[in-house]
Structure 1
Amino acid sequence: MITDIAPVDSHQPPSASMRALKENGYAIVREAVPAELIAAIDRDLDPRYAATPFCEGGFYGTRTKRFGRLLIRSPHVGALVMNPAILALAEAALGDWCERIQLNLAQAIELHPGALPQFPHRDQDMWQGTLGEVEYLVNVMWPLTPFTTENGATIIWPKSHGLEALIEEPAEEPIIAETMPGDAIVFLGSTLHGAGGNCSASVRRGIIISYCLGWLKPYENQWLAYPPDVAKDFPPELAALTGYVQHRPNLGNFEGQCPSILFRGYPPDPIAAVDALRPDQQALLADYIGDQRSAGGDGTLAA
């Protein structure tokens, strides 16, 4: 495996990260956030790490701990989810296939000594859509502790994304994403990857935050993780990212309206359904209605 990777400095233009992501299926952004922010998150999550039992099953790993709902477990996680540079990367990578992106997952992971290497996989396999043509997902791994070869740093197969995901054996040798707290490991949902094995005497902690197409069912059920009485206190942009907005046309509505109306409580009386269309659809509809009115005045064709 290769540890000599070509990271992208966070001070370089976003186009450098986007180019690396598109060409290699991953990008490592050094010093994407201050290490102090990561340290604060680690302190906030420490009690939950201690209380969480080990996973069950060979994929999650029996020497690994995982838990979600991170936006309510640390007030600092929102800064990772809404990081402008990372969010721009996700939107650029996924924007061709959706009207808006959504939060797919915010999960804490802790590999304990003795953890085996994870089964190499592609996260896009959660969905049974067309492969090789559409990108469904962007992952961002945020190390809370240093990621090293010994403690199970993320393993990535470069250029295994896109159409290459249809090929059984990757052409490139895998790299080991050795990184420090504050760095971000960004990779596509079509990129082959997996956690390394932890051969060290200490735990390896990280946070995986991922974004997916707004019309997909996300990995983590956001409405259960953050019900209206919780999400109402999020900044509007974060609430929208967790599902409290419609994906036009009309997808994800509540009684025909934006689900954010629940931030004021469940409506006591019946409410009207309201169109939520893209501008192009709205224009087509306006032309159609105009033609209908010109034809008959009442929606019927003129004689």
Structure 2
Amino acid sequence: MQDGYTIMRSAVPAGLITQIADDLDPRYSETPYCKGGFYGARTKRFGRLLIRSPHMTDLVMHPDILALAETALGPWCDRIQLNLTQAIELHPGALAQLPHRDQDMWQGAIGEVEYLLNVMWPLTAFTEANGATVIWPRSHGVEALVEEPAEAPIVAEAEPGDAIIFLGSTLHGAGANRSVGVRRGIIISYCLGWLKPYENQWLAYPPEIAKDFPPELAALAGYAQHRPNLGNFEGQCPSVLFGGYPSEPIAAVDALRPDQDALLADYVAAQRRDDDGVLAA
């Protein structure tokens, strides 16, 4: 994404978005307004969307978007992971959000690594009047080191079924809702597999819930190790918990990258040759 963002028109059928919107509607009604200037005093937010609509899997596992996330983030990790699923509702009178870059939550090196890919899915039409996401084109990557963006922002107007996609290094923020209606949307984001995700996936989807996910979704939600051995449970993939907590001790099992396996094999072989030489002498 040379501009730091793109809008994928008609990424999914509008009917799928309608089903998700209907599933989430009761939770929107029950959720109180946020507290704090960043989240927004006239804004509602809630997460754990994979348990709130059976259709959310279609968005999270969208093959074209996953491929884009792999391309954007793959150079810096062994595997990507789900960072967040969050529903957002801007009410009339909501102020424009502070422009920000989501990568800043990790305080990592700026301009050297891409940490995150965001996907905003409108549940209602996103317009300039109701607070559509504002994005600064080409403010990503090394441009994140520049205090003032070189280009003027654009308003990412979109319809249900469209996907607004932008990097974690891209400057953006919700617009002000100057309309008389609410603006509803879903944010799904993917990050490097070795980072601590924004939403604690193991608490959002504990083993008794995640065991019923498709295997690829469970892995994306944290039930997979990031080689080497990161995110393990007792030295094994955390998906071992889908069968319940082990009643007996279990063996730790290497989970290494191919290059590490090769290096280890050479190292072990060299030691064995040395041992054989000592025994022969």
CA RMSD of aligned residues (A): 1.2
Equivalence map 1:246-261=2 (5 Å):
246-261=225-240
Q: Matched residues in 2 for 1:168 and 1:82: separation?
A: 35
Q: Matched residues in 1 for 2:107 and 2:272: separation?
A: 43
Report what 2:202 is aligned to.
Answer: 223
SS in 1 for 2:117: strand
Report what 1:99 is aligned to.
Answer: 78
Equivalence map 1:17-36=2 (5 Å):
21=1, 23-36=2-15
Q: Which of 162, 167, 173 is 1:183 aligned to? A: 162
Instruction: Tell me, yes or no, if structure 1 residue 90 matches structure 2 residue 51.
Output: no
Structure 1 unmatched runs, 5+: 1-20
Report what 1:207 is aligned to.
Answer: 186
Report what 1:264 is aligned to.
Answer: 243
Report if aligned partners of 1:68, 1:107 keep a CA contact under 8 Å in 2: yes
Paired AA for residue 145 in structure 1: T
Paired AA for residue 64 in structure 2: A
Report what 2:18 is aligned to.
Answer: 39
* Residue deviations 1:159-202 (CA, integer Å, cap 9, x gap): 00000000000000000000000000000000000000000000
Q: Matched residues in 2 for 1:213 and 1:52: separation?
A: 30
Report what 2:112 is aligned to.
Answer: 133
Q: Matched residues in 2 for 1:258 and 1:301: separation?
A: 39
Paired AA for residue 244 in structure 1: Y
Q: Which of 111, 116, 119 is 2:90 aligned to? A: 111
Report if aligned partners of 1:161, 1:191 keep a CA contact under 8 Å in 2: yes
SS in 2 for 1:24: coil
Q: Which of 229, 244, 260 is 1:281 aligned to? A: 260
Report if aligned partners of 1:67, 1:107 keep a CA contact under 8 Å in 2: yes
Structure 1 stretches (4+) deviating beyond 2 angstroms? 300-303
Q: Cα distance, 1:301 vs. partner?
A: 9.9
Report if aligned partners of 1:112, 1:203 keep a CA contact under 8 Å in 2: yes
Q: Matched residues in 2 for 1:177 and 1:158: separation?
A: 11
Report what 1:5 is aligned to.
Answer: none
Instruction: Tell me, yes or no, if structure 1 residue 66 matches structure 2 residue 45.
Output: yes
Corresponding residue pairs, total: 281
Q: Matched residues in 2 for 1:301 and 1:232: separation?
A: 50
Q: Cα distance, 1:302 vs. partner?
A: 8.6
Q: Cα distance, 1:205 vs. partner?
A: 0.2
Q: Cα distance, 1:128 vs. partner?
A: 1.4
Paired AA for residue 291 in structure 1: A
SS in 1 for 2:34: coil
